[in-house]
A and B are shown apart, each in its own frame.
Chain A
Amino acid sequence: MTLAATDDPKLTSTLLYLDGVSVSFDGYKALRGLSLTLAPGEMRAIIGPNGAGKTTMMDVITGKTRPDEGDVYFEGRHDLTRLDEAEIAELGVGRKFQKPTVFENHTVSDNLLLAAKAPRGVFATLFGGSGAAQNETIERILTTIRLADLRQTRAGGLSHGQKQWLEIGMLLAQDPKLLLVDEPVAGMTDAETAATAELLREISHDHSVVVVEHDMAFVRELGVKVTVLHEGSVLAEGSLDQVSADERVIEVYLGR
């Protein structure tokens, strides 16, 4: 199955490939025939009204939800519909949740240590401490996410915005090939929002990124290709100016 799929050149040239993906929960169709491709190194913004299927799409990519039908491939080789969360994470897909979920009882640097790329086996973590290389990475990320002074603070004591940043830092520590970022600026001040856009642009230099966001000003600041989801499938795709001129998009956003 995996081998046969590599024959398709359209598939092998993509980092992420979704084709005809459908998911339903108790009869409610969260995704209906969603198709989307992401090139290596690309940053993409996904927008859409509530219930458009944005979070379900993330769940399918990260293995939390199994699609009823459709194909999901990573790097043209890995069939994500057959792998579980841990395997997909190990392939190099990192996810930031809508609600910031950091480990509240751990310090900021321990949060990064747990996320940092390193062997994940029981005995590796039981007997191996943190290597020097890992400490260096953690220091670098602490500076990037502007939490260097708070490294020994319990993550539960951080502000909302700082938690969001710590979570982005945890994603960076994982050093994934693809970052899925769910509503990174929800609840942030304008200054924090601008800084986050800056941070994501920085990250996209050497990572592929998918950002789901409601905040149009933020999406404009990112300045990347936009995909509009509606009722579980793609409504429009293009630059933000193109899609916001699309009549169907206007109708969906402003109501009929």
Chain B
Amino acid sequence: MSTPALRLDRAGLIFLALTLGAAALAPVFALLVPRDSAFAMPPYVVALIGKYLCYAILAVALDLVWGYCGILSLGHGAFFALGGYAMGMYLMRQIGARGVYANPILPDFMVFLNWKELPVAWWGFHSFAYASLMVMLVPGLLAFAFGWFAFRSRVTGVYLSIITQALTYALKLAFFRNDFGFGGNNGLTDFKDVLGFSVQSDATRAALFSISALALALAYLVSKAIVSSKYGKALIAVRDSESRVRFLGYRVENYKLFVFVVSAVMAGIAGALYVPQVGIINPSEFDPGNSIEAVIWVAVGGRGTLVGAALGAIAVNFAKTYFTGAFPEYWLFGLGGLFVLVTLFLPKGLLGLLNMRRAARPAAAPPSPAAQEEGVQ
């Protein structure tokens, strides 16, 4: 009956067409169309939307664990930031002798701190391949270690959310310290080039934009394949009735651990694409508020839909850019109000609203409000 081949619904196809279209067309509008044309895409728009795309990847990663497995992670920003730091370290070492202190090996902040040698953690980061590996490995390993203990001890629900929050907060404090060796309060910045291309140039920015759009499409496809498999069905079952799945003989802790690690790796990649586009990574990326904001994107877009999560990330950040410009002091109230309104009136998020307008087929298994609770006594 069900074939292993991936079957995409209408929303998924539209989403893929949009992301792939954006990847193909952005360089055309940013580079080839004359600047004074109405169709030209100014560099700041490229950077801005490129940033939204990275947030969208983070949202898809978060939706994978929250929407499909019921793990409400309030610390996913940590994996995003760790991926960002790994990329930032590569970019720092690319600066080389062009830094203020002109030290060919040590980044400026180390010279400033009077360090003589490169710390072990920084070894190998002159290589792009090594840095790319670390972008995935560091968040993946942290998620593995964290999940191993948390899921084995059957920490669930709000308790798990609290310790994910503590995790990202602890990392924030650690990265703030100068002697931790990652630039302290100021973080890593003043990047010059990536793989030999200047990070400031319009062409590099357009390329990063396209890569981010492709990565978003890929993250969607991987997530969709995971949730469409029998594994994904078991995952949804875990979300809705964890102990029932256990009585069927599934090792629930392994099921959770796998999806948590995949999601963390995805978040790490999003962070790595984000850093060269914004030009800085500092400990504020670990702020618990960032992780909570990511949860709001997913809720607003539509939990357990993947496409909705990406849509939510882009829509909320678009609103944020507008409102923080127009009425800076009211944005947080707006964000809070949005969350309340969506929870009350749009339990399936923006995507649910779109589906309702089409009023055709039933949406694919949206989680019921009580799904986080254990159904079995």
Contacts and interface: CB of A to CB of B under 8 A. Distances in A.
Interface of A: 62, 64, 84-86, 89-90, 94-95, 97, 99, 101, 103-106, 109-110, 113-115, 120-122, 125-130, 135, 154, 156, 170, 174
B327 interface: no
Contact of B231 (A89, A106, A122): A122
A145 B2 CA distance: 22
Contact of B226 (A85, A105, A126): A126
B117 to A, nearest CB: 42
A86 B240 contact: no
B201 interface: no
20 contacts: A85-B243, A90-B249, A97-B244, A101-B244, A101-B375, A103-B241, A105-B366, A114-B233, A120-B251, A121-B251, A122-B255, A125-B229, A126-B229, A126-B230, A126-B258, A129-B230, A130-B1, A130-B2, A135-B1, A174-B248
B231 A125 contact: yes
Nearest to A128: B230
Nearest to A156: B368
A149 to B, nearest CB: 15
Interface residues of B, number: 35
Given A86-B250, A170-B248, A174-B249, A101 B234 contact: no
A62 B365 contact: no
Nearest to B235: A125
Interface string B339-377: 000000000000000000000000001111001000111
Contacts of A109: 1
Which of B230, B375, B377 has the most chain A CB within a 10 Å cutoff?
B230
A94 B250 CA distance: 12
Contacts of B258: 122, 126
A62 B248 CA distance: 11
Contacts, number: 93
A98 to B, nearest CB: 8
By Cβ-Cβ distance, the 3 closest A-B pairs, closest first, are: A89-B249, A125-B231, A126-B231
Given A86-B249, A103-B241, A109-B1, 11 more contacts: A62-B247, A97-B377, A101-B244, A106-B233, A106-B236, A122-B251, A126-B229, A126-B231, A127-B229, A128-B230, A129-B4
Contacts of A106: 233, 236-237, 365
B153 interface: no
Given A104-B368, A135-B1, A110 B249 contact: no
Contacts of A120: 248-251
B231 A105 contact: no
Contacts of A99: 376-377
Nearest to A176: B249
Contacts of A90: 249
A129 B2 contact: yes
Contacts of A110: 233
A125 B377 contact: no
Given A104-B368, A105-B240, A122-B255, A129 B250 contact: no
Contact of A86 (B226, B237, B252): B252
Q: Which of B2, B226, B367 is the most central at the interface, judged by chain A CB atoms within 10 Å of its CB?
A: B2
B98 interface: no
Nearest to B238: A103
A85 B247 contact: yes
Contacts of B244: 97, 101, 103
A114 B234 contact: yes
Interface string B115-127: 0000000000000
A112 to B, nearest CB: 11
A156 B365 CA distance: 11
